[in-house]
Structure 1
Amino acid sequence: MPLRNKTMIAPYGQLAAQLAVVLFFVNLSLAFLFFVIKRSAWKAVKVASVKLARKLMKSHIYVGIAGTALIVIHAGVMLAQLGRYVGYVHPKMVSGYAAILLLAITVAAGYLRSRRASGFRRKFHLTAALVFAGLFLAHIFVR
């Protein structure tokens, strides 16, 4: 259903979501980079990947916080502007609720990992991040 209200700020919510997607893919690329480091048989590839990972890890927390802030802005704008038109139990909204819940779990797991690292906390943060990525991709494609 096209919305005709010219005073809506929903496009700003969509822009915030698009910027957050870029930031989250930057952070998600770390998981694939670590996979390359672990599985590569070529020393040159491992060395180059480790150098890149060290640079990216310095900004991982800041990029994640910025992405989370943009998602919170997106959620607030979409709840306020779009929820009343499409309904608060629309599949797009429900998938967004689930994605935000998983994002909160991922951020909490990352915080716990930063306080005291362990193998379980590392795996839990990684697993939560990958499940969140899958869920937010599902949210993108739900109509």
Structure 2
Amino acid sequence: MVLRGMGDDDGHGNALPRPGTLLRDPGPVSVTPLDPLRPAMRAGNSYVIWSAAARRVQQVLDAGDGPEEVVFAPGTLFRVLEVRKGDGGGAPVQIFLRELTGPLGPQTNPAADRAALERLVQAVSQRSGPAPAGQWPERCTGLPFGAGP
């Protein structure tokens, strides 16, 4: 489970993707793990992603005390599982995604989608409030994410 912050944007000014939409970014996508041992990394306005093939990267230039970074390869495909819109009273916008892998392309697997969504929702429900911007690696924040395949 990994997170990508939406920065300062609350998601209300941008069109949010609909469940079932496929997202693909042409470049590498940096994210940070949803780490239960690092409670300061909370899921605020964010993409919450079920990862299957992302790779951890060692931060050569950082002192090692910041959040870990994980990278998806260019062109990785994601399915939007659910979109939870903030209520304007401090509730975050969260877009739940599942990474799609395999040589056959974006196969539909409702059981896998439901299982991934349940685990993602459970993981973020134990956290409250967004992490301060300084706690997110710079490359792990920002909109927009993905373009249609």
- Give the structure-1-normalised TM-score: 0.30
More helix by share: 1
More strand by share: 2
- Give the structure-2-normalised TM-score: 0.29
